[in-house]
Amino acid sequence: MQMTGNTILITGGGSGIGRALAEQFHARGNRVIVAGRRQDALDAVTAANPEMASAVLDIENAQSIIDLAERLKADHPALDAVIHNAGVMRFERVRDGGLADAEAAIATNLLGPIRLTAALLPQLLAQPRATIMTVSSGLAFMPMATAPTYCATKAAIHSYTQSLRYQLKDTAVQVLELIPPYLQTELMGPGQASDPRAMPLKAFIAEVMSLLEGSPDAGEICVEQVKSLRFAEANGGFDGFFKTFNDATSETQ
């Protein structure tokens, strides 16, 4: 990925990974548009970074995605990168029978990036070079049983990204996958932001930007802390690791 001179849309850009990436890319001379559901969160980002643009987006809503794509075509014709960062993670007790959390995860984490990619692809293909970056998770490769649908959507995003990369291999669109570990963000609530077991967000972003700069042709962006999850299957002993990992995580919830 070229690190400067891009026009980049970042979903879920009002906080967490999305905001941190937006500020780093902005500092490197890119035009950044942050998108998200909450206008107040977007306003906080643009107030701190006046040259950034923002757009309200309900990633669960198909029409909202189409409307955003039309606005971007008109207002940002040079758009040549999208980072699919918006996501939700909720714990589920499958024996309780409720589906609201599962359906929200599928709509946000899986259908959202697929729909937005489809809506933006004509504009991206028209550029001399372009980038699509999905954000999956280490939990795509080592599921956490207490968040089954979240993990399933991230596994699906990994698979979708591989197929997207193959289908676009003869175009100027580069397809990347960012695979975060457990981070100090508020994805699962305010307590996560100070959890000492989680990787500090600042350290994660610094390592990600270094990897992007040092390996511009890499398909997957994996910081060291996520590699035990990413390569659990390849390294052997998956079943034992799965039990140990889930026994440990279930005890803390």
Residue positions annotated with a catalytic role: 150
3 Cβ contact list (under 8 Å, min separation 6): 25, 28, 30, 209, 212, 213, 216
Q: How far apart are CA 197 and CA 179, in angstroms?
A: 17
Q: How far apart are CA 28 and CA 51, in angstroms?
A: 13
- Between the CA of residue 54 and those of 14, 23, 35, 41, 122, what are the distances in Å? 9, 13, 6, 10, 21
- Between the CA of residue 26 and those of 71, 97, 181, what are the distances in Å? 21, 44, 24
Q: How far apart are CA 227 and CA 57, in angstroms?
A: 32
H or E element, residue 68: helix 62-75
Strands (DSSP E) found in the chain: 7-11, 31-36, 53-56, 81-84, 130-135, 173-179, 220-222
